[in-house]
Structures are given as C-alpha cells and as structure tokens.
Amino acid sequence: MTILVTGGAGFIGSHLTERLLQLGHTVICLDNLDDYYDPGLKQQHIQAFTGSPAYHFIKGDIRRQELVADILSGHQCDTVIHLAARAGVRPSVFAPALYVDVNVNGTLSVLEAMRQTGVRRLILASSSSVYGNTPGIPFREDQTGEQPVSPYASSKYAAELLAHAYHSLYHFDISCLRLFTVYGPRQRPEMAISQFVHGLLTQTPIRVFGDGSVVRNYTYIDDTVTGFLQALTHLQGFQRLNIGGAEAISLQQLISLLEQLTGQTTRIQHFPLQPGDVLYTAADLTLAQRRIGYHPAIPLREGLQRFISWHKKKR
C-alpha cells in the first residue's frame, strides 16, 4: 500500500511512519515543517527514514491543492492519513483565522485533491476537543450536540463534517479518529507531560492552569499508532472513533505520579484556567473496540516511565 501521510514529520506522524514502513508500506510524507515548535525537532524525527527507498519526504503545504494532487497521482497513492493541522487549543483563541485556514481549508484541499485523482480512502486525525464540555462522561461518538469551546476544536469538528460530505457525495471510505491527549517520546515540547517531566528533572517550577482538578484521558503513542493501523485495516464506510487511553486522571494526580516515578518534587506555579480549555476528557472505547478491535495496551504508569527514560536519554 502506498500511503500519503500529511504532517508525517510531527510527533504522531513520525511514529506512525515508522510502523507503516516496518509493515512494508510505502510512505509519502508531506509536511511544511512549520514553526509552531522547533522545525529542527521534526527533521530529527524523520532522519531514520530518509535512507529508505519506501519513504519519500516532500516539504509543502496541504493548502496547495495542486501539490497534493500531484503527489497522489505521481506516487500512485491509494490511501491518505491526514494528520497535518495547526495544533494547540490555547493559541487558537488568539489566531482563529489561521486555525480555520489550515485545519478546515487545508482539509478541503486534501479532500478535493483526492476527488480529482480518484483516491477514496482517508483516515482523518480528529480530536477529543470536539466534545468540549458536552454533558455525559465518558464521551461517546454518538453523542449529539458536541460543544467545542475553542477555534481549534471547532476547526477539527468542521474537518469531520467536510469529510462526511465527501463520503456522502463521492463514496469515500473515511475514519475520523478522535485522539485523546497523546504522549510519549517526541511529544511536542509545550504539552503538559513534556513540561512537567522537564521541570521535575531540571528542578524548575512547573506551571499549572487552574487548580489541578482538570481531568485528561492520556493515551500512549504506541496505542494511538495501533488505533491508526487497525482503522486502516477496517477502512470502510464512514465512522468516528475514539482512540484513547484506559484511564483518566487529574493534573494534580498526574504530577504526583510523575514525582513518584522521577523521585523528584517540584514547586507548582498556579495560573488561571485558560480560555478554550475543557474541564474533563474521557473516552468511551466501546465502539472502537467493536468496529476495529482497539484496546489500549500501555497503562499510564508504564507509559510515563517510558517517557521519562526517553527524556533522560535525550538531555
């Protein structure tokens, strides 16, 4: 299988690429190496693949529809895994037009390029943020009235709606995977677990927004990648699926667990809860288990220990 992975130089994309290559697929990576965080880190992510004849890197923007179409036809791709997006809930509050442009118009560009070139298979990376503060926990995919509370979340939900339109009009086979707080080696440096581990290992204060009671469902990167691979195997029709971890804990509980695992304590600096942040995320995995056989395998404690070991090595 020849797969176009947009955003393939990022945290999730590089891990997914690694597994796809191991399974014998050809991977075409399209990434613009934007400056949301250090582009040099993304280049490091893909260094291990650059010598593989089954891997091709193209620097470019998903909003360039002709470029995407040329890649799909020129490399005879049969599937697209669309990860490329402007990330980050909090920054989206201050740059909503950018997030709509990249995440909505960029997705439309990819869908149109697929339509033009006859590619009908798509896995779209969505986000648990689409649920917002919707009542009813854990979140189920069949809940109506999702209530996104940030431009980022709204842009991801809009991308899902566009994808459904292309499924209805052109019979695309599409899975929208709603990802729940992915962590692990290569995690973006501004994300909470990266920040907390760095603070503990360097004995510098860590910042917590709110009183520490915010709850997140953390998913180890290996489980997330497994979810993509299982969705790829069962790619038929249209479906939205939660891809999350087995447990949800508060920020305060997370910090306590990290202190245990690192043997360090730290000083916490509290700041007001940020606009756009949701109070709770938890994934109901029943549908993903039934449809694609998804079961998270890495407990939070084990995943955090793996991340800490990796972080120590890279320092």
Active site residues: 152
- CB burial of 239-261 (b: ≥16 within 10 Å; e: otherwise) equals bbbbbbbbebbbbbebbebbeeb
Structure tokens, 300: 């939070």
Contact partners, residue 39, CB within 8 Å, separation at least 6? 33
Contact partners, residue 106, CB within 8 Å, separation at least 6? 61, 62, 63, 84, 85
SS3 content of the chain, % helix, strand, coil (to 5): 45, 20, 35
Strand partners, 147: 132
Compute φ and ψ for 125, nearest 5 degrees: -80, 110
Distance (Å, whole) CA 216 – CA 155: 21
Nearest alpha-carbon partner for 219 in 282, 142, 169, 308: 282
Distance (Å, whole) CA 268 – CA 263: 16
Structure tokens, 19: 């597994």
